[in-house]
Amino acid sequence: MALTGCSGLSFRDDICGGGEYPVLSVGGTGSACVKDGEKVPEGYTRYPEGKVPQQVDDEWDVYWDTHTVDEDGKTVEVPEAPAAG
């Protein structure tokens, strides 16, 4: 017997794979994954404690689309890009 329909469960991709942690581009919205035990690459920083995205499109992943960390470690909004046209 085949079952069809929606189970109500949704699955999202993890931000990083096992054995990795996410880092944020200083002054921008870019991100990367770094192997556990390795240093944060130059130009990147760890996400502030409690604000680390775990899955694509989770609360913090969406938040960091419009926010970043500046050179002083402060969380700031990213200026909107000028409209094309």
Q: What is the DSSP string of 12-71?
A: --BSS-TTEEEEEEBTSS-EEEEETTSPPPTTEEEPPTT----BTTSHHHHHTTSEEE-T
CA distance 82 to 72: 25
Express as a percent the part of the chain with pLDDT over 90.
76
4 pLDDT higher than 60? no
Tokens of 55: 């899955």
pLDDT in tens, 22-65: 999 999 999 999 999 999 999 999 999 999 999 999 999 999 99
Domain extents in the chain: 20-72
Split at pLDDT 50, 70, 90, the class of 82 is low
Q: What does the mean pLDDT of the chain come to?
A: 88
